[in-house]
Structure 1
Amino acid sequence: MMKESKSANFTQEDLSFVPPSIDSASLLSGESYAYYTPVPAAITPHGTKSENGDLLESTPCVLGVDEAGRGPVLGPMVYGAFYLPLDLHHSLLAEEHSFDDSKVLTPGVRANLMRLINTPGQKLFESCGYAIKSLSARDISSGMMRTGTAVYNLNAQAMDATIEIIRGVVRDRSVDVREVYIDTIGNPATYQQKLERIFPTLKITVAKKADSLYPCVSAASVAAKVTRDVALEVLYEAVLRAKQAEDASETPETWGSGYPSDSKCVGWLRQNMDPIFGWGNECRFSWGTAKEMLETKGGARVDWPEDDEDGNGRLDQLFISGSGKASGQDGLRNWYGNRKVEII
């Protein structure tokens, strides 16, 4: 059941808030990207000097990591890292703002918390920082659909995203992180051992349901979830604009949550599948839902020519007749203007 929190005084402005972690250009081009907030004023990084040149003591911090969007067939998978001073961990996040697993907070509460995190003058803004790694549907699929030993599975991509954002905070921004808490779906012990080898100076705890156990992971969950939700809206609006440019009277159905279990999502995929290209950068082609739909709905098969001894393929071999033999000049002659495929 979704619940409210002490930060539940949200408005319509909160629900329409677009956080700075949204990179529309990267989302629309199918690129993965990372985003980092500036180190907040309440945190003194390693190596900071005073006005008279004295080295200042760094601020001990805690950092949490969580993801949103691991299972959907549409949209990015987003990893979030959230950090703040150790002495504020529970008092600020748990007591003042009642952060919790993003899945049990209402959309309005999540949006309000995300706005507060990004609003100058608010204590959350002045004391907390966060990082986002958005893995695009296109990049997720291209990694998973490699062959043989080159396969880059989802767990490996998730691990690399986690390592990247921790390094981005600890090494690149010199934040004195002492404790790290991470939510996991797989084996916590194995995951933790891998990270401890990479970050031997950090106290790392990997646990299932960490987003409901550790406030910094709850906050990371909110940052990741809100970023993914807004990213999905950006992608859908782009698809909607493209459809309406073709037919201004058309009002395509929504794609829902983007999960394969969502009937709206499956219905949208069926109605918007191109027989040649499938879908756009918003879709994870490596998901069973997409693969099955392409196979059962008559997705066009392309036979690529084999290279000759010099590594070059002949152009006329790109055009294959129904019998599987090269159609030569007929194929070249029909290259323009004969694309007609029906979807049944």
Structure 2
Amino acid sequence: MLDCIAGVDEAGRGPVIGPMVLAIVGVAPKDVAGLRVAGVRDSKRLTRVRRASLMDRITERARFWDVFFFLPAAMDRASLTVLTVDVLVAWIDRYRPATVLVDALTAPAAIPALVGSIRRRLPDWTGRLRMWPAAERHPAVAAASVVAKVFRDEAVRWLRDRYGDFGWGYPSEARTRQFLEEWYRRYGRWPVWVRTKWQTCRRMEGAGDTR
């Protein structure tokens, strides 16, 4: 078993456009304080420039790190929690960290059952698994959130360079909604990089059917 603390977090759970990115960062216990001193914190509290500058520091200090992209088609077919747990189990089995810290994947009352189901899938792993809301306060989880967000932002920029500026893909963004409305009006279908089961798309499809 690897003597390290592995933090796990995602970026892009809520947007209607683009992938969700899950990241894991394994850090030696002696390096946790260094991440905090370097300014690593939850990605939502950092600017894009700051996240990019911290990326190299995080990956240089990490014992291991990894990312997984969930494409919209997969997220349309299955629960995000189920998809995330499948990758988490595979990572724990591959890297064998002594401790795994995960930002809550479900409601607090359901966490014990979810943790139990993960452990049953890893009978030979004897490490510690903790899952709780606000886990991103721990530097290892914060580091994972930064890595996930940097990769998610790169994916969004790649899409915008090829298909036009839709903002950052959140349903709350006027630019995103306008882009989707114009796309559906023009083509009558969604591209593969849009989450078609999101209510944003369903409402636009309904509006299109009435015209």
Scaled by the length of structure 2, what TM-score is found? 0.89
- Asked if 1:109 is matched to 2:29, the reply is no
Q: Which runs of 5+ in 2 are unaligned?
A: none
Tell me how far apart the structure 2 counterparts of residues 196 and 107 of structure 1 sit (CA, whole Å).
35
Letter in 2 for 1:225: K
- Asked if 1:73 is matched to 2:16, the reply is yes
Moved over 3 A (4+): 274-277
Deviation at 1:165, TM superposition (A): 2.9
51, 73, 77: which one pairs with 1:138? 73
Match of 2:209, SS state, is: coil
Deviation at 1:276, TM superposition (A): 5.6
The total of aligned residue pairs comes to 206
Q: Which residue of 2 aligns with 1:333?
A: none
Larger RCO (CA under 8 A, 6+ residues apart):
2
- Asked if 1:92 is matched to 2:34, the reply is yes
Tell me how far apart the structure 2 counterparts of residues 107 and 277 of structure 1 sit (CA, whole Å).
34
Question: Does the Cα contact within 8 Å between 2:81 and 2:105 map onto a contact in 1?
Answer: no
Tell me how far apart the structure 2 counterparts of residues 155 and 127 of structure 1 sit (CA, whole Å).
26
Question: Does the Cα contact within 8 Å between 1:83 and 1:128 map onto a contact in 2?
Answer: yes
255, 260, 264: which one pairs with 2:166? 255
Deviation at 1:215, TM superposition (A): 0.8
Question: Does the Cα contact within 8 Å between 1:69 and 1:76 map onto a contact in 2?
Answer: yes
Deviation at 1:275, TM superposition (A): 6.1
Q: Deviations over 1:106-164 (max 9, x none)?
A: 111101011334xxxxxx515442110100112212x1xxxxxxxx2222122223223
Q: Deviations over 1:63-115 (max 9, x none)?
A: 010011111110101110000212222x22112x1211110111111010113
Q: Deviations over 1:320-340 (max 9, x none)?
A: xxxxxxxxxxxxxxxxxxxxx
Match of 1:103, SS state, is: helix
Match of 2:184, SS state, is: coil
Deviation at 1:277, TM superposition (A): 5.1
201, 207, 210: which one pairs with 1:290? 201
Q: Which has the larger radius of gyration?
A: 1
Question: Does the Cα contact within 8 Å between 1:75 and 1:283 map onto a contact in 2?
Answer: yes
Scaled by the length of structure 1, what TM-score is found? 0.56
Letter in 2 for 1:194: S
Tell me how far apart the structure 1 counterparts of residues 67 and 50 of structure 2 sit (CA, whole Å).
20
Question: Does the Cα contact within 8 Å between 1:75 and 1:282 map onto a contact in 2?
Answer: yes
Tell me how far apart the structure 1 counterparts of residues 184 and 56 of structure 2 sit (CA, whole Å).
36
Q: Deviations over 1:202-235 (max 9, x none)?
A: 10110111012x1100000000011111111111
Q: Which residue of 2 aligns with 1:164?
A: 90
- Answer 1 or 2: which has greater strand percent: 2
104, 108, 116: which one pairs with 1:193? 116
- Answer 1 or 2: which has greater helix percent: 2
What is the aligned-residue identity percentage?
A: 28
RMSD of aligned Cα (Å): 2.0
Q: Which runs of 5+ in 1 are unaligned?
A: 1-45, 47-58, 118-123, 144-151, 171-176, 241-253, 300-343
Tell me how far apart the structure 2 counterparts of residues 127 and 65 of structure 1 sit (CA, whole Å).
13
Tell me how far apart the structure 1 counterparts of residues 75 and 90 of structure 2 sit (CA, whole Å).
16
